[in-house]
Chains A and B, each alone.
Chain A
Amino acid sequence: MRAYKPKDNVQAKAYYTDRFYVAPQVPKTAVEEDAVFAADLAAIKAKFAVKEAYIQVEQMVIYINACDIYGVLELMRDELAYTQLSEMSAIDWLAKDNSFEIFYQMLSMTKRKRIRVKYFIQKGEAVDSVEKLFRSADWSEREMFDMFGIEANNHPFMKRILMPYDWEGYPLLKSYPLEGDEFAAWYEVDKIYGKEARDIIGPELRDTARVDSYDSERFARLGHEVPKGTKITGDEPAVSQSYQEEDGVFLIKKLDKESSVIIDDPQR
C-alpha cells in the first residue's frame, strides 16, 4: 500500500519526530509590562474589539476582527503615530481550519515601537484594502493576491504582480507543490510552441534536484566519458587517464620552484 500523503499540505515535512517531543514556545509577555504598548492598546480597545494581545520578541501582537482593519490602521496612523506599514501578507492555515491569517507590520518612528496587527479570514473571503491609508499596501496586497488568491476590496488594480498575468494557481498555498503543478509543467511549452506541440516536446521537468545518470549532455560520467548525445547503454569502456606525476602529459614544461614568488598582499 502506498503511504498516505495529505493533499492540503504538500510542503516538506520532518521525516522523523520523537514521539514524546513537545515543541517549546517563544515566550509571550503581558502587554502591561510595556507602558507604551499598554497605552496604545488601551487607545485601540476604546474603539475596536481586540481579541488577544501580547508581546513577543519585543513587539506587540494584537488580534482584531477582519472588518475593523481599516479603522484600526487609520487610528494607529493618525493618533498613535504608527506612520509606516512595513509589511503585510498572509499565512495559509487552510489545512488546519480553512482560514488565512493576515498580518500587518506597523512601525512608529517616534516611539521606536513595532506592532503586528492580525486577523483571520475564511477561505474565499476578501480583505479590506488599506491602500488609501498606506500606498505601500498597493503592492503588498497585489503580492498577497498573487501568492494566496486573497482579494482586497477597493483596491485600484487587483492584478498579479510577480507571476505572469495568465498564470493559474497560487504558489504560496500549502497545497501547491514546490515544483509547480501540472499547469506549470505545460506553461512554457504551450506559450512558446503551442498546445499542438505537447506530444513532441513533453512536459517541462521542473524538479531542479533531479539527476538523470543517463543524461550525457548535462552530466559527465567521470572516467567513462562518451561523446555528447551518445545513447548510454552502461557498458562503455573506461577512459584511460594519465597524470603528470606518473609520466603522463606534461602541463607545465619548465617549472622553476626556486624562482617562483608567492604574493601575500593583494594590494601590492
Chain B
Amino acid sequence: MAQVKNRLTPFFENITFERDDNELVLNFGPQHPSAHGQLRLMLHLQQEQIVKAHPDIGYLHRGMEKMAENMIYNEFMPTTDRMDYIASSSNNYGFALAVEKLIGLEVPRRAKVIRMLLLEINRLMSHLFWLATTALDIGAMTVFLFAFREREYLMDIIEGYCGARLTHAAIRIGGVPLDLQDGFLHQLRVFLNKLPQNIKDYEDLLDSNRIWLMRMEEVGVISTEMALSWGCTGPMLRASGVAWDIRKEEPYELYDEVEFNVPYSDKGDNYARYRIYMEEMRESAKILYQCIEMYEKCEKDGQTELMAHAPKYISAPKIDIMTQNYSLMQHFVLVTQGMRPPVGEVYVPTESPKGELGFYINSQGDPYPYRLKLRAPSFWHTGILTDLLPGHYIPDVVSIIGTTNIVFGEVDR
C-alpha cells in the first residue's frame, strides 16, 4: 500500500468559519510571527472587533513535570533552562533555591553575589528582548536593532561566564560552579555606564511616538481585581496598581541588602507595562552596581567559597575530590544515585523577569522528586487573554500579546 501523505487534517476543520450572524471565526497561530512562540488564538469577530477569544496552548508541551519525576535533582537543572529560555538563569535559580530550602542549605556569600549578578543580567536581557520584539511587532524596527545590540553585549558576558548564550545552566544546587571570569566586572561596568544613554535612546524613539502611543495607550487595560483574580504577577501586576515585587516583599539572596525601587502604575494599559519594563531596567542597573561592589568586598575579605558545604547533598570541591578518598566516594554516590533530600514539601516563589516563578517540590526522601509543579507566570498571562481581548480590535491583539511578555517554553513547560 502506498503511503497517503496528506492525511494531516487541521483541528479547526469542524468549525464553521462564517456564520449567519455575521460573526467570523479567525484562527491566529500557532505559527504567527507576532504570537511570540506557539500561541494559537481562536478569535470570534464582529467586523474588526473581537467578541470572544479562546487561547489554545500546548504546542510546546514537553512534560517537564513528568521528566522531573524521573530525574535526580541535579539532572533536572539543564531542563529548567528550557522554560523561560530568554532568561534561563532565573529558572535555574528558582529550582536551586527550592531544593536548598528543602534541604535547609545556606549558600556562601560570594556565590550569592554571583547569583544576583546573573539574575539581574538575565532580567536586563529579558526586558531588552521584550522591548525589541514588541517594538518590532508594532513596527518600530530601529528599536529592535538597538535593543538587540545591547542584549548581545550581555549575552557575550554570560557566554564568558558559563559558555552558553541562551541555555545557561549557570547555577547549581548549593551555589555556583565557577567564579567570575577575568574582565567580567570591567565589561559589565562598561555596559552599565552606557545603559542610561541607551534607555534614553529607546525612550526618545518611543515615548512620544504617535504610532506607539496609539497602539499602547488605553489598550489592553487590566483592572487590579482582574489581575489578582487571574494570578498575574510581575510587571503585569505592577502595571495594574499593585506594588508587589517578591525581591522586595519576601527577599531572597541578598535583595534585602541592596537598594532599589519597585516601579508601579495604576493605569493597567499597555503603555503602563511598557513604562514599567523601562523603569525596571534602570532599577536592575542600580542593583548590578551594588552587586559589583559587594563582589569586590568579598574578594577583599578573602571569601572564596562558591558551593555550600553539605557532604550529604553537595559534592566536595574538585580539589578535595582529586586528593581525598572519602570526598571521591561521596562524589561518586551523589553523581550516580543522586542526593536524597528530607521528606517534606516546599513551595518557593522567586521574581523572574516575567513574574512569580514558583517551584513546588514534594519529596519522599528518594533521589527523585515525588511531585514537582512548575508555577510559570506566563501560563496565567496567557489565560488572561480570554477576558482581556474581547472588545478590542484585531491590531490590538498583537500589541496586547506583546506587552503580556509571554514565553511559550514557560507556558507549556
Contact = CB atoms under 8 A, between A and B. Distances in A.
B373 A87 contact: yes
Contact of B66 (A84, A114, A136, A178): A178
A136 B229 contact: yes
Contacts of A15: 337
Contacts of A191: 7-8
A74 B31 CA distance: 40
A142 to B, nearest CB: 9
A201 B5 CA distance: 12
B166 interface: no
A14 B368 CA distance: 8
Contact of A23 (B250, B364, B380): B364
B275 interface: no
Contact of A200 (B3, B157, B191, B367): B3
Interface size class of B (residues with CB under 8 A): 35 or more
**Which residue among A25, A59, A139, A201 has the maximum number of chain B CB atoms within 10 Å of its CB?**
A139
Contact of B367 (A14, A109, A160, A192): A14
Contacts of B338: 14
A13 B358 contact: no
A217 interface: no
Interface residues of A, number: 59
Interface in B64-111: 65-67, 69-71, 101-102, 104
Contacts of B160: 266
A171 interface: yes
A36 B398 CA distance: 44
Interface in A178-222: 178, 191-194, 196-197, 200-201
B23 interface: no
Contacts of B229: 134-136
Interface of A: 11-16, 21, 23-26, 28, 56-57, 59, 61, 83-87, 89, 91-92, 103, 105, 109, 112, 114, 116, 134-136, 138-139, 147, 160-165, 171-172, 174, 176, 178, 191-194, 196-197, 200-201, 264-267
14 contacts: A12-B70, A14-B366, A26-B102, A26-B343, A26-B363, A57-B346, A86-B349, A87-B375, A138-B386, A161-B57, A164-B58, A171-B66, A172-B65, A267-B191
